[in-house]
Structure 1
């Protein structure tokens, strides 16, 4: 690892803070590196030469603290420790932005692989691919079985009216990114609003539950669920709808991470049936939730496309994002017709 400070993390100040707040934790000089592939929050692997930890902080130049709430992430991970949901142990939360330039938290480093592409799954073969994706589904069942009251998360969100607020939120995001005519997107939003299902009992919702947001070990067990920045209390079937959408979306050679084309990957229908059998929940309205997932991803990708047209993105693949959006809109409309 480089001894230089990675972007957004002053290693010397972090080491001094850890030495003060957790005496005896560090056994040597601290080094750090960025963990690539995370979501919007920045993630670092740090080590003292004997042990390793992970540090999470908001992105550089972030504005809305509520969108990158370190205390919220730290709280849900800490609360789920000791349940059947595999999460890292938390070490500490620091809400003082003066230490490294933003609030942050430290958690244990968990070994495991985040599978991001169909090619990565193809390398482990169809039998293991099937096992790991089914384990992903079973872990979602375990998450939604957690009693928020029992783990101290009864006030972690506002379940009443959850789906309506979610639809309004992503509708506002769409309006903020409008730069071109996008056939069908308003039709999809209107159709979703006109067919809102009645939500089941609320549960802890991850908000971005997919294969590359968990770690799996060599025995294809899920060792940690990561990236809790969108977690809340709400309708658990929104997580299932997103998982099912990623289980059916077919975008080869796409800059969007998809794994469903890997040999051995269970179908979306099988994942939904397995979840229903193991959770006991009614999934008869799952087409609505899958269509909503398509809409949500269409809005996210349209926002990325908009920022690309404004010259506010850096890296490869952004020039192709705009081409993908119509496929997600059409996927949502097609799916909603099954509801």
Structure 2
């Protein structure tokens, strides 16, 4: 499989090792002989935040310690989203880790445990946080996991296990009580569908400050005219896909990753996002990958999700259309940042059903 580093920014990792060692010493009272080693960028994933893996080794008295860590740095110039939710990203992961209990608990959302948050930009150039490093395999998007790599090479039965475990985690997120997560509410305290709607209206306006995009306005008008009746409460992960999950050798979920756009927007946003991307990457209508036997169909995913959450998926088609709008906004923004041509307007109109 090809190894591709995808990172918005990179830096001298040897220099960073020294800085992180000094910073970490202040957070590990009694640590002696602290060394930071094996710094690297993740391969095949991570397009919005600079994310760096490293190992920390030290002694406390005669006892050796070794911890695998991940540092995630707040974006500087390469900002994909208009809403700054870096603090909320750390806080929701911390809350989920504290609720999680044992990793074997199917009711637990399996996240990497956040360890430290640093809001001083003077250390690494911007605020950052450090979390524990999980060990496993990720179905990466670059190159698409359905075209090459370990998931393509797996058997249909193994893929079936992976799919079921992924949907179980998707459902576990919707069983998380939202009490105590008020820090995820919108700028004016909004929750539910209004919160997600407001976020992406702001996104569309932000994009149109760069260039007029009437197709986005038309898509918003269409969605608003078809406003869904079913608006179940729930936590929004924000980028719900198997490419943001890590799996062990038994195809069980080790960690749910990339919580950079969380909200209290409601249960159906993540299910819709998951279904749209699954179809795109490995479903019957795959455009970036190829169909993979064993992966559940949209209908099977929805049925299992409803069974596990006890929530209705009524009006899911509307949320899938909204997910396509969100993905279109993200694609336009990434093209702006990379200086590459944006999506074809006619293709956008067809995708957003305003052609």
Per the shorter chain, which TM-score range? Answer: 0.7 to 0.9
Match of 2:244 among 187, 207, 213: 213
Corresponding residue SS for 2:135: coil
Map residues 60-139 of structure 1 onto 2, 5 A cutoff: 60-61=76-77, 67-81=83-97, 82-83=99-100, 84-116=108-140, 117-119=145-147, 120=149, 121-139=151-169
2:23 maps to 1:17: yes
Aligned to 2:353, the other structure's residue is in SS state helix
**Structure 1 residue 51 and structure 2 residue 67: aligned?**
yes
- Post-superposition shift, 1:43? 0.7
After superposition, residues 1-339 of structure 1 pair within 5 angstroms as: 6=12, 10-24=16-30, 28-31=34-37, 32-36=39-43, 37-48=45-56, 50-61=66-77, 67-81=83-97, 82-83=99-100, 84-116=108-140, 117-119=145-147, 120=149, 121-149=151-179, 152-157=180-185, 158-160=190-192, 161-176=194-209, 178=211, 186-198=217-229, 200-249=231-280, 258=288, 261-305=291-335, 307=336, 313=338, 322=343, 326-327=346-347, 329-333=349-353
Mapped to 1, the partners of 2:164 and 2:209 lie a distance apart of 37
User: Contact conserved, 1:295 with 1:329, CA < 8 A, in 2?
Assistant: no
Partner residue of 1:337? none
Q: Is the 8 A contact 1:18 1:25 kept in 2?
A: no
Residue 242 of structure 1 contacts residue 290 of structure 1 at CA under 8 Å; is this kept in 2?
Answer: yes
Per the normalisation by structure 2, the TM-score is 0.78
How far the C-alpha of 1:326 sits from its partner, in A, is 4.9
User: What's the TM-score, normalizing by structure 1?
Assistant: 0.81
Give the distance between the partners of 1:101 and 1:303, measured in 2 at CA. 23
Q: Give 1:16 deviation, angstroms.
A: 0.7
Are the structure 2 counterparts of residues 126 and 332 from structure 1 closer, same or farther at C-alpha, using a change threshold of 3 Å? farther
Q: 1:257-284 CA distances to partner (integer Å, 9 max, x unpaired)? A: 9556223222122111211122111112
Q: Per the alignment, in what secondary structure is the counterpart of residue 264 of structure 2?
A: strand
Shift of 1:167: 4.3
User: Bigger shift: 194-203 or 291-300?
Assistant: 194-203
- What does the per-residue CA deviation read over 1:109-141, in whole Å, with 9 as the maximum and x for residues that have no partner? 001111022123211122222221221111011
For 2:181 and 2:260, the matched residues in 1 are separated by 15
Task: Write out per-residue CA displacement over residues 299-338 of structure 1, whole angstroms, 9 at most, x where no aligned residue.
Answer: 2223333x2xxxx527xxx56x635x7556424429xxxx
8 A contact 1:58–1:68 mirrored in 2: no
State the Cα distance separating 1:211 from its structure 2 match: 1.0
Instruction: Report the 3-state secondary structure (helix = DSSP H, G, I; strand = E; otherwise coil) of the residue aligned with 2:131.
Output: strand
SS in structure 2 of the partner of residue 294 of structure 1:
helix
Q: Does the 8 A contact of 1:15 with 1:30 survive in 2?
A: yes
Q: Deviations over 1:80-123 (max 9, x none)?
A: 01320001122111111111211111111001111022123211
Distance 1:70 1:162, change over 3 A: closer
Question: Relative to structure 1, is the Cα distance of residues 62 and 5 closer, same or farther in structure 2, using a 3 angstrom cutoff?
Answer: closer
Task: Return 5+ residue gaps in structure 1 as ranges.
Answer: 335-339
Q: Which moved more, 1:294-303 or 1:63-72?
A: 63-72
Report how many aligned residue pairs link the two structures: 314
Distance 2:271 2:32 in 1: 40
Kept in 2: contact 1:90–1:108 (CA 8 A): yes
